[in-house]
Amino acid sequence: MSRKLREAERVRGIFARRTALLGLGQMGLLGFLGHRLHTLQVEQGERFATLAEENRLSARLIAPPRGRVLDREGRVVAGNQLNWRALLVAEQTADVTATLETFSKIVPLTETERARIEREVRRRRRFVPVIVREFLTWEEMARIEMNAPDLPGISVDVGTTRLYPEGEHLAHVVGYVAPPSERDMDGDPLLELPGIRVGRAGIERHHDRLLRGRAGAVQLEVNAVGRVIRELDRREGVQGDDVQISIDAELQKAIRGKIEEGTSVVLMDARNGEVLTLATKPSFDPNIFNSGVSAAQWRQWTANRATPLINKTTNGLYAPGSTFKMVVMLAALEARVTTPGERISCPGHMDIGDFRFHCWNRNGHGAVDMRRALVVSCDVYFYEIAKRLGIDRIAAMSRRLGLGVPLDIELPGTRAGLVPDRAWRQAQGRPWALGDTVVHGIGQGFYQLTPLSLATMTARIATGRAVQPHLTRAVAGRPARGNRPEDWPSLGIPEAHLRLVRDAMWAVVNEEGGTARAHRLPASLGAQMAGKTGTTQVRRVSREQRERGFRVDQLPREWRPHALFVAYAPHDNPWLACSVVVEHGTSGSGAAAPLAREVLIEAFNRLRPGSGAPRIAQGGRI
């Protein structure tokens, strides 16, 4: 018995110890749970309550309407219009592919569109809408709504899209918008919103941040997986600022109606630098970029030798020809290498070493002074003056007048052009020769200048101020800086020198023997213009051709010289300055000067406030 009692006692002891250990373990576990509950509910209760609320609420941004672009008269040249679009929510359909197949029978989808939709469905959560088709017509939208039972997951939504009512007439100035790319992402959360657009060219690009506006926000209640249950609060976005530009849309269209392919016209207010017209042909329709440019359209643009995507007024590069001679005159007067009354003989050519430099007039102009040399555009006179000056002094005056330097205009990508000098030539590993200087004295050689820079030069000569061309008149109703004549400093050129050049430019148009006398403004307009013709070779004329009685109009068009003309008006109180470049127009007096006359008549009739001047029939006789 004693053995059995001892065994029972031992078993009871083991059980008691195990019970005690289990009790201690339970007490420890309960203590740990109590500690964690105290931590979660007391010490960190407020934090976790906030997190729970954040999980329940979802704040999302709302894309604001883009600001408008207005012309100088307040006409909308870039605005917004309603954009009806079809959206697909993948979780609301059992078979996305079947839904798209049905949709394409109602509104046709290309293979590229279907591939894009399926790619976005895979990348996004199934309850996030994906755009199936934008820019639906009323008929397409009606067909979708009528077939809604057969289109699970498809709904029609409305947003906004960019509209350019003037189309190709202002495409190069206003630019266009497109969806943001990876390089556009700068931390602005607005750029991550579906349907947002950023400026890709022109004013749209330069003022993109102002035009974007500020995003709105909507607060939504969502469930554990992020599905929207209801909308709790909404704050609409703030539309972007309106930007008013100096271009007159109606004047721009009227001038583009007068020009042919390969022609560029720049018209600006000489007093303050406001650009009134930047007209060139060909152009493109910026509205195409809203819906996406097709591969066929892009190939058509890029294959066109006339380069419709390039703004030739700011990016086309040309030798200035004789329109450059005013620069040489001012440089010569400042350097005192001649006097206005000195007469230089022109026999029709100048020989330097074994090379002969011809005047455009084979018979020569006889002895001419500075004023007469510009009136008849005597090349030999300017050959001689250039020899005395040297290229560096010519280049310095050129840059002072706005040639070959960056111009502060709000069109990204505008080219500065090239005004060569000795240092530029030496950087190429070749010395500057005397013959180079002679050729550059009449605006030929290595010069590469834009029509915009030629108009700027003309405005500076007309006013004596360092005006900069610009397009922005006002932002959000506030006038932009630089719109007053006094905002621009003096060029520091003596007024007597400027008066001499202006008088000679007036004589070019209004005096007997002037190269543009046939194209002076009609007396009924009450104003006279001053200007200068220019013709620049694109192909060298050989001695043999000259001896055979060479005629430019017998050449194929692409070998004919470019025609140029610069002008300002009125002569006695300048406020308009213009430049005209006609590619392969043969001669400045024959092609560019008459067009400049028509441009200035149009501008006076449309822009001059309170003039009371009669409207002039375009193309009429003087």
Helix (H, G, I), strand (E, B) or coil at 476: coil
Average pLDDT over residues 254-278: 96
Kindly report which listed range (228-237, 328-337, 480-489, 521-530) carries the lowest average pLDDT score: 228-237
CATH number of 543's domain: 3.40.710.10
Does the structure show a pLDDT above 80 at 302?
Answer: yes
What is the arrangement of strands in the sheet containing 57-62, beginning at the earlier edge strand? 57-62, 216-222, 228-235
When computed from its CA atoms, the radius of gyration of the chain, rounded to whole angstroms, is 37
Evaluate whether residue 48 is within a structural domain.
no
Does the structure show a pLDDT above 80 at 613?
Answer: no
Kindly report which listed range (15-19, 193-197, 227-231) carries the lowest average pLDDT score: 227-231
Does the structure show a pLDDT above 90 at 434?
Answer: yes
- Which letter, b or e, does each residue of 231-251 get, where b requires 16 or more Cβ atoms within 10 Å of its Cβ? eeeeeebebbbbbbbbbbbbb
Evaluate whether residue 26 is within a structural domain.
no
Following DSSP, what letter does each residue of 305-349 receive, concatenated? TT-TTS-HHHH--B--GGGGHHHHHHHHHHHTSS-TT--EEE-SE
Any residues with CB less than 8 A from the CB of 185 and at least 6 apart, and which?
A: 191, 192
Are 239 and 257 part of one and the same domain? no
Between the alpha carbon of residue 365 and those of residues 203, 299, 369, the distances in Å are 48, 51, 11
Are 472 and 487 part of one and the same domain? yes
Domain range enclosing 107: 60-245
Q: What is the pLDDT of residues 478-509, one digit of tens each?
A: 988 777 888 899 999 999 999 999 999 999 99
Number of domains within the chain: 2
Percentage of the chain with pLDDT > 90?
A: 56
At 4 the pLDDT is: 72
Residue 616: pLDDT band with limits 50, 70, 90: very low
Are 339 and 226 part of one and the same domain? no
Distance in angstroms (rounded) separating the CA atoms of residues 264 and 279: 6
Evaluate whether residue 469 is within a structural domain.
yes
Average pLDDT over residues 551-572: 86
Are 215 and 337 part of one and the same domain? no
Using an 8 Å Cβ cutoff, are 404 and 318 in contact? no
Are 429 and 524 part of one and the same domain? yes
At 617 the pLDDT is: 40
Q: Tell which wins on pLDDT, 490 or 125.
A: 490
Average pLDDT over residues 556-564: 87
Residue 587: pLDDT band with limits 50, 70, 90: very high
Distance in angstroms (rounded) separating the CA atoms of residues 132 and 118: 10
Evaluate whether residue 557 is within a structural domain.
yes
Evaluate whether residue 46 is within a structural domain.
no
pTM as predicted: 0.82
Q: What is the DSSP letter of 535?
A: E
Q: What is the pLDDT of residues 378-430, one digit of tens each?
A: 999 999 999 999 999 999 999 999 999 999 899 999 999 999 999 999 998 99
Domain end residue (candidates: 245, 273, 292): 245
Dihedral sign computed on CA atoms, order 192, 195, 200, 205 = negative
Evaluate whether residue 15 is within a structural domain.
no
Are 378 and 427 part of one and the same domain? yes
Residue 618: pLDDT band with limits 50, 70, 90: very low
Q: Tell which wins on pLDDT, 622 or 455.
A: 455
At 51 the pLDDT is: 44
Are 239 and 253 part of one and the same domain? no
Residue type, 127: F
Does the structure show a pLDDT above 80 at 605?
Answer: yes
Evaluate whether residue 27 is within a structural domain.
no
At 513 the pLDDT is: 92
CATH number of 184's domain: 3.90.1310.10
Distance in angstroms (rounded) separating the CA atoms of residues 258 and 582: 12
Using an 8 Å Cβ cutoff, are 384 and 350 in contact? yes
At 622 the pLDDT is: 24
Any residues with CB less than 8 A from the CB of 149 and at least 6 apart, and which?
A: none
Are 334 and 367 part of one and the same domain? yes
At 619 the pLDDT is: 40
Q: Tell which wins on pLDDT, 207 or 85.
A: 207
Does the structure show a pLDDT above 90 at 7?
Answer: no
Are 279 and 164 part of one and the same domain? no
Are 414 and 538 part of one and the same domain? yes
Average pLDDT over residues 33-44: 68
Does the structure show a pLDDT above 90 at 610?
Answer: no
Does the structure show a pLDDT above 60 at 604?
Answer: yes
Residue 599: pLDDT band with limits 50, 70, 90: very high
Are 224 and 348 part of one and the same domain? no
Q: What is the pLDDT of residues 276-291, one digit of tens each?
A: 999 999 999 998 887 6
Parallel/antiparallel/unpaired status of strands 263-269 and 243-245: unpaired
Using an 8 Å Cβ cutoff, are 389 and 335 in contact? yes
Q: What is the pLDDT of residues 149-191, one digit of tens each?
A: 888 888 887 777 899 999 999 999 999 998 787 787 777 777 7
At 259 the pLDDT is: 96
Are 469 and 600 part of one and the same domain? yes
Structure tokens at 480: 């932009």
Domain end residue (candidates: 217, 245, 273): 245
Evaluate whether residue 341 is within a structural domain.
yes
pLDDT averaged over every residue in the chain: 86
Does the structure show a pLDDT above 80 at 564?
Answer: yes
